[in-house]
């Protein structure tokens, strides 16, 4: 086991998870967010995959640990275990697949059952760059659902809004953690704690089947 560094190279470590039906493009979002930092490819997610990317945000170094969860029904019992400790959740649907949008309410119920009460959430309508004739969920419908739950909403495409989505939820979580630092929130991982991941790279990728 690699020895822990004496000082962490980040100010905050934030755990994010992506949830949504199979085929909505969660792995693709993660891949596009990693482009320019790490060359990789994704197959259909079996169990859990995650990557780590460190970003600069408002003068702080934020290490994002982003978990890509399988959307298949048979893996949902695995997925729910990873809600615990999550600080932010990206709810992803495919704008060309109305059923994936309708199932967002089910994913939100799972979050309410298994995640922390104060977890940050963001709604993402993916594949918005597809031919408009293939669109099944209007932008206004996605915005209305986000408004109903009081969360932010973005539509993403192959080269649209991907970075903005991750930076936005990271900024919101950072603000929440900054406000609760003095309360020693259990999910907050502070600087100078040992970083078990080790290494100096900006972004690494891990994978696990049926848990870590």
What does the alpha-carbon distance between residue 143 and residue 205 come to, in Å, rounded to a whole number?
32
CATH class of domain segment(s) 12-192: alpha beta
Enumerate the domain spans of the chain: 12-192
Distances (CA, A) of 191 to 7, 9, 102: 7, 8, 40
Nearest one of 90, 68, 67 to 168, comparing CA atoms: 90
Alpha-carbon distances, residue 181 vs 75, 86, 120, 121, 173 (angstroms): 34, 17, 16, 20, 12
pTM: 0.77
- Read off the tokens for 100: 């994936």
Contact in structure between 115 and 83 (CB atoms under 8 Å): yes
Q: Token digits for 89?
A: 């959740």
Strands (E) in the chain, as ranges, are 12-19, 48-57, 60-69, 88-94, 120-126, 152-155, 189-190, 203-208
Tens-level pLDDT at each residue, the chain (212 residues): 344 444 578 899 999 999 999 889 898 888 888 774 433 344 555 556 778 889 999 888 999 999 887 666 666 777 777 888 899 999 999 999 999 999 999 999 989 999 998 999 999 999 998 889 999 999 999 999 999 999 999 999 877 899 999 999 999 999 998 887 655 545 545 444 444 444 434 444 444 444 44
**Among the listed residues 109, 118, 75, 78, the one whose alpha carbon sits nearest the alpha carbon of residue 91:** 109
């Amino acid at each position: 086991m690699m020895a822990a560094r004496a000082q962490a190279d980040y100010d905050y470590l934030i755990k994010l998870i992506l949830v949504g039906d199979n085929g909505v493009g969660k792995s693709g979002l993660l891949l596009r967010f990693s482009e320019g930092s790490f060359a990789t490819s994704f197959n259909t997610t079996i169990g859990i995959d995650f990557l780590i990317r460190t970003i600069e945000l408002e003068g702080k170094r934020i290490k994002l640990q982003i978990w890509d969860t399988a959307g298949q029904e048979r893996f949902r019992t695995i997925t729910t275990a990873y809600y615990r400790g999550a600080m932010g959740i990206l709810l992803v649907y495919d704008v060309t697949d109305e059923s994936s949008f309708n199932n967002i309410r089910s994913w939100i119920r799972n979050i309410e059952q298994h995640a922390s009460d104060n977890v940050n959430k963001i709604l993402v309508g993916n594949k918005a760059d597809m031919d408009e004739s293939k669109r099944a969920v209007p932008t206004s419908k996605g915005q209305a659902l986000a408004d109903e739950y009081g969360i932010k909403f973005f539509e993403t495409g192959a080269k649209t809004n991907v970075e903005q989505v991750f930076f936005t939820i990271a900024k919101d979580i950072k603000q929440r953690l900054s406000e609760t630092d003095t309360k020693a929130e259990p999910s907050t991982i502070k600087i100078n704690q040992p970083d078990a991941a080790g290494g100096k790279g900006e972004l690494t990728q891990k994978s696990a089947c049926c848990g870590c």
